[in-house]
Structure 1
């Protein structure tokens, strides 16, 4: 009982910070799903080490990849202008914030894939990040493309302008059927569509037959399910998970699961 006032003070201070952050977001952000935010400095550093370990590249190289995407003024300008002109501009913020997607960028830069497949496109922010990495790789003599699969015909409006669209194949339809119809081997597969465990499991099962030797499996659903970890164990792969920490946002963040 003697410690109760001190404990109450700590809980109240924490709750007050959460409430203040939430109220500020309610009145300053337009987003209603697929929230965007920056990562804390510590979370960025943990992400750099996650990519370094799973992709077997020096952590300093990964930090360099982060700096590339941070400094890509053309991509930021395109996203800002296209978002403002979109019919969905009322549901998107003006600021360009990539969060864990800088990890996607770094993985593509590190592995130099010829074919990336992502399921779930929404506005196309992640698609643009993947495309930017592929364009850098192409300029360095390692060309690649991304097949972006979504069931919504309106998905991917951010990725419909050059030069990003030049390396993007946008496929509209059921993701399981679209994976089965792929005519090229897949070097990196990223699940970011329907986040039910059953659908995620079916996507990895479908992708398994399409993977090239040494292909990577990534999940954007790793904070919600253990599907990719279980798939990795069944198929004799290693698995690691990273959980992001948003800076100044009420949302607790998502993460990246990677099986290799």
Structure 2
């Protein structure tokens, strides 16, 4: 009896779980060893305590390109060009590195620039050319800079737009307070629901990235609904934790898709992009 026949015979007996245990243990051990290496390296090389940054795996980046292509109805080749564009923007990258190093909060921020799913935000803005983007939740302003960079590129091509960034923390957005990015950003400090209610022009693209509780996320989408321009796009950074935007899309007759990122060499499982259009 050869080895393959023997394994198949054992698989049909009560000894099957015992025989499979060493192989199962080896797989778990390899997985755990990788997790321990990754988490240990992060603990001693990163300063971040929340809102983690990282690069995407090659496969995750490819899937993101197709996600944006479908949502925005543009060729995937063009989307890939947009992703390359933001990642090769050395001026923006240098600014973020310098602003981070000079910030009073530099003890809790990594100087290395890693955009993760935010390159998807960039590509969506480049593809749709919105006149008015609104984001809730700014933190350091990394996402604000990415969105502003897309708006500046659009403006250079004859399609001007502005970003309204809403945050309750008066210290938020320090990365986006430098020209030329600050020239297209209106930073508003205050409660997001009240700030949405005070918007004085239609919203073409709305991004929820503030308080990630289900109740608050739902309130933001309900509040912005009356402010939306025709054909507006809604985004959420909370799609891996709630179904709020999907439910809102169904109630309002929109389509919905979700993308989940896969971080490269990071212990965090990643976030995603939810979109309704």
Flag whether TM exceeds 0.5 (same fold): yes
Q: Is the aligned partner of 1:76 residue 2:108?
A: no
Match of 2:178 among 155, 158, 161: 161
| Residue 251 of structure 2 corresponds to residue 238 of structure 1 | no
- Residue in 2 that maps onto 1:16: 33
CA distance in 1 between counterparts of 2:87 and 2:140 reads: 19
The 2-side partners of 1:4 and 1:180 are apart by: 59
Q: 1:142 aligns with which of 155, 159, 162?
A: 159
Instruction: Tell me how far apart the structure 2 counterparts of residues 12 and 217 of structure 1 sit (CA, whole Å).
Output: 42
TM-score (norm 2): 0.94
2:233 aligned partner = 216
Following superposition, the deviation at residue 153 of structure 1 comes to 0.3
Partner Cα separation in structure 2 for residue 248 and residue 207 of structure 1: 37
Q: Measure the CA separation in 1 of the matches of 2:157 and 2:22.
A: 61
- Counterpart CA distance in 1 for 2:211 and 2:111 is 26
Report the counterpart of residue 192 of structure 1 in structure 2. Answer: 209
Residues 67-106 of structure 1 mapped to structure 2, 5 A cutoff: 67-106=84-123
What TM-score do you get using the length of structure 1 for normalisation? Answer: 1.00
Paired with 1:225 and 1:99, the residues of 2 have a C-alpha distance of 20
Return structure 1 stretches of 4+ with deviation > 2 angstroms. none
Distance in structure 1 (CA, Å) of the matches to 2:172 and 2:134: 15
* Per-residue deviation, residues 173-198 of structure 1 (Å, max 9, x unmatched): 00000000000000000000000000
Distance 2:111 2:199 in 1: 35
Counterpart of 1:61 (choices 63, 66, 78) is 78
Aligned to 1:112: 129
Question: Aligned-pair distance for 1:8?
Answer: 0.8
1:121 to 138, 145, 158: 138
Shift of residue 94, structure 1, vs aligned partner: 1.3
Q: In the aligned structure 2, how far is the partner of 1:30 from the partner of 1:80?
A: 14
Q: Distance in 2 between matches of 1:14 and 1:153?
A: 42
SS at match of 2:34: helix
- Paired with 1:242 and 1:171, the residues of 2 have a C-alpha distance of 29
The unaligned stretches of length 5 or more in structure 1 are none
- Helix, strand or coil at the partner of 1:257: strand
Residue of structure 1 aligned with 2:69, choices 21, 36, 52? 52
Pair 1:2 & 2:19 matched: yes
Q: Distance in 1 between matches of 2:172 and 2:112?
A: 20
CA deviation after TM superposition for structure 1 residue 12, in Å? 1.1
Structure 2 counterpart SS, 1:20 = helix
Deviation at 1:224, TM superposition (A): 0.3
Does the residue aligned with 1:137 lie in a helix, a strand or coil?
Answer: helix
CA RMSD of aligned residues (A): 0.4
Distance 1:37 1:232 in 2: 29
Query: Where does structure 2 lack aligned partners over 5 or more consecutive residues?
Result: 1-17
